Structures are given as C-alpha cells and as structure tokens.
Structure 1
Amino acid sequence: MNAVELTHVSKSYGEIRALRDVSLSVPEGTFLAVMGPSGSGKSTLMHCAAGLDTPTGGTVVVDGADIGRLDENSRTELRRDRIGFVFQAYNLVPSLSLLDNITLPLRLAGRAPDAAWLDKLVARVGLSDRLEHRPAELSGGQQQRAAIARALVTRPAVVFADEPTGALDLRSAHEVLGLLRDLVDEFRQTVVMVTHDPAAAARAHQAVVMADGRIVDVLPRPTAADLAARLVTLGAR
C-alpha cells in the first residue's frame, strides 16, 4: 500500500508553473529523497503532498485520504495526526522542556502519550537523559533528534523532512541521516525528504530528481556520485 500518492498534480502561482503533471507513489515503510536545482519544484511538491498547499490540478492521497476532498478542519486533523514534519530550523518551542516539545502534537490533539511508545522513541533518538532540558541547552543535532521524535510521537503514516540537515555540522548531519534511515528500517516509518545534498539523498531507498516542475529521473538505491552527476547535468542545461 502507498502512504502517499500524487496523480497528475500541477501547481501554478499566477504565471509560474511550479509543478507540471507530477505523478508519484511512495510505498509504506520506504525512504524517498526528492532532489533538484533551486526552483525545480521540490519544495512545492512536498507542500502539496503534505497538505500544506493546494494543487491547481490532480489528486493527493495520504494514508488513504484524498486531501482535496477534505474540508479545512479535516485537513488540519490529518496533518496533526497522520503526518509528521521535520524542518531545517527544528521549530522547537524555546520555553518548553524537551519532553513537552516532543509531546506537543498529542497535547494539541487532546490525547495522552502512549508511555511505552514515548519511552522507546526517546531512547531510540538518544535523548532519555535530556527530557527536562530546554532547546537552548542542547546541540543542534540533539534539537533535530528531538524534532524527529516529535514528528513520530503520533505514529504518523508519513514524515516529511525539509532539508533536515541543512543547519547541522557534518557529524550531526551524519547522525541524523542515520537515525532517519534506521527509523524506516526498524519501525517501517515512511519518510519523504527534500534535500539539496547528494550524500543525504544517498541514504534513501529511492531518489527522484526534479527540474522545471517535473520529475525527470528516478534512481533506485542512489549513490551520492550518481546524484551529484545528475544535478550537474541539470545545471548545465
């Protein structure tokens, strides 16, 4: 079964065509990387797939729900309960402890945490001894791991990660990417990651390369060298 399915999706902003007839399926339990030059449409693709933006045409189905057929309240609930988000800037609340940041989506939904899942999750991201700390007391890598735990606490159908290593040093980036891949392999968590970094995309099961609002290549088991070469080719067009 597919966690995310886009069918003939287009998106225009006035005269600008950001997506052009894009179709894409993301099977459950897989890690997909989305790459492309600046302006290729990769961020727009993620925003439409995650229900953050509305396509001009086509359909987007997440966890069996056709987002286009949902009213705004139902769409908000879908994003809150079935979709996790990881951003470059972490987006943690500075005044809250790490524990409160991680469980924030559940409290917003009026749900109590599953204690066993929460314990397993914070242990897996290596933060069991940091839960009472505030974000400013942690390294960038620790903050991003907390953001990943927050994205997973609701057991979402899919996690969308937008340049999750963009603000990290090389060592922290390596750890975060390894964690994302491990979460896919161990928990069968579906992850869709937008990145400009071929080394990051090489952690995925599959990479799609975008240009001019279209998917121009699909690389199973991508290597950093192959992805870098493909991006150079696109940049030379």
Structure 2
Amino acid sequence: MAEPVFAEPLHPGPASAISLEAVSKTYAGGVRALDDVSLEVPSGAFVAVVGPSGSGKSTLMHCAAGLDVPTTGSVRIEGVEVSGLGETRRTELRRERIGFVFQAYNLIPSLSVADNITLPLRLAGKTPGPGWLRELVSRVGLPERLDARPAELSGGQQQRVAIARALIARPAVVFADEPTGALDLRTARTVLALLRSLVTELGQTVVMVTHDPAAAAYADTALVMADGRVVEQVGSPTAPAVANRLVALEEG
C-alpha cells in the first residue's frame, strides 16, 4: 500500500502551541509541585520533559494540558487562556485541541480498532473527514486491523492505536506520558520513531514526559526538571547528555 500523503500539517495554527507564564502548583499540605515555571512550546515541536522522580514532570503536563488548574500563573493553548476556564469548558477545550497518549493504552476492550480510534470524535458528535481514518491507520501501520479487538493486538500495536486515537481530532498538541514505559526496547523504538515522524512529516506538536534518556533523544528539545522547576533546556538532546544530566541531579 502506498504511503499516505498529507498535503498540510495535521493542525496548522499559531506559532506557539503551549505557553506557561509563572505557573506554580501547590497541593494540600503545602507540597509545591511546580515553582514559577515559564516556557513556550512552538507549534510543530517535539519536546521531552525529563527529571528525577518527584521533579514535577507529570504536574507540568497536567497543568499544560488543562487536566489540572495551577495555583498561580497562566496557561495558554494556542493563545486561549485555560487557567480561568470552568471544568466544562476545559473539558471541551481538551476534546477539541489536545490528544493524549499514556503508558496504559486505555483502549476499550469491547470496541474494534476503528471504534477505539474514532471514539473521541463520536463523543463530540462528529465523524472523521473523508479518508482521514484510512490515512491515519496507514500512518500508524494498522490498515488491516480495523476490525480487531485490543486483546488481539500486541502491546506495540495497542499503543499505535492509542496514538491514532490521539490524532483523530487533529489536535493542537499531543501529550504523551511515558508512552513506551510498558513496551520492550524494539517496540519502544518503533513507537518513538512514529512520534518523531508525526512532528517531522506532519507538523504535529508533541510533548512527551519520560524517564528514559534514549526516548528523550527523539525530541527536538529536552526540558530538564528538578524541584518543580525547569533547570535546563537541552537542544538536540542525545541519550548520553540527558543521562549525565539526570545522574548529576540525582547526586546533587
């Protein structure tokens, strides 16, 4: 089957996909998970967020994606201020502009591959554009498995279904939280190469939280976190460079 051709980026939009300005998050008991974080994720960029356990990686993703509300500061998704929105509007914004890929695939066992992929659109009362589903499943390498159930797929295939589901609504940003954590090394590389191709070939914006320096090496930039702050931005990261930085943080 010929490789699908995408004439335009998945989601052409503003130059900045995500902006955080002076964002802090304090939980009950005074635990400060984020401490005055400001950053900007350009559209069409692949950004990895790395750091020791408890450094604030997941909290950063949750706030940037509108899953959680910062205690102070501003979060914008394609220029839309998220922080002040009510839960209903934030849910709608996530459905329209954000895709999610998690370590657990979160597929519905009783649904086919096709129905799992299109579920976000159907929940929003929409249907995929002509040919979009076919092109998408070709991109993730599952054109012959549309009728299969998740239990009939390998872990890597299930994660590729999850990636297609994250893309079906043509989101502004895909957030991937440890997307290869449950996969073997070879399968993980296949999934990471797929995420890389979405950025390079389709102009998709991807923000990936990972503990794995080898995974971070697929990104354009690695944001290194410690104690709720972004302490370094590593351009064109390599696995050794990221690993050395993480070791230094653990020892320091």
Q: Report the TM-score when normalising by structure 2.
A: 0.93
Displacement, 1:71? 2.1
Distance 1:44 1:34 in 2: 11
Q: 1:224 aligns with which of 239, 249, 252?
A: 239
Q: 1:162 aligns with which of 177, 180, 200?
A: 177
Displacement, 1:63? 1.7
- Aligned pairs for 1:1-237 (under 5 A) are 1-14=15-28, 15-237=30-252
Which segment is superposed worse, 113-122 or 16-25? 113-122
Displacement, 1:199? 0.2
Distance 2:219 2:194 in 1: 12
Displacement, 1:204? 0.1
Q: State the identity as a percent.
A: 68
Distance 2:229 2:214 in 1: 22
Please state whether the residue corresponding to 1:180 is helix, strand or coil: helix
CA RMSD of aligned residues (A): 0.6
Distance 1:187 1:118 in 2: 15
Distance 1:115 1:146 in 2: 19
Displacement, 1:119? 1.2
Distance 1:171 1:103 in 2: 27
Displacement, 1:115? 2.7
Distance 2:67 2:86 in 1: 13
Please state whether the residue corresponding to 2:83 is helix, strand or coil: helix
Displacement, 1:87? 0.3
One-letter amino acid matched to 1:96 = L
Which ranges in structure 2 are unaligned for 5 or more consecutive residues? 1-14
Displacement, 1:131? 0.6
- The runs of at least 4 consecutive aligned structure 1 residues that moved more than 6 Å come to none
Displacement, 1:5? 0.4
Which segment is superposed worse, 209-218 or 62-71? 62-71
Distance 2:113 2:43 in 1: 29
Displacement, 1:113? 1.1
Distance 2:115 2:40 in 1: 34
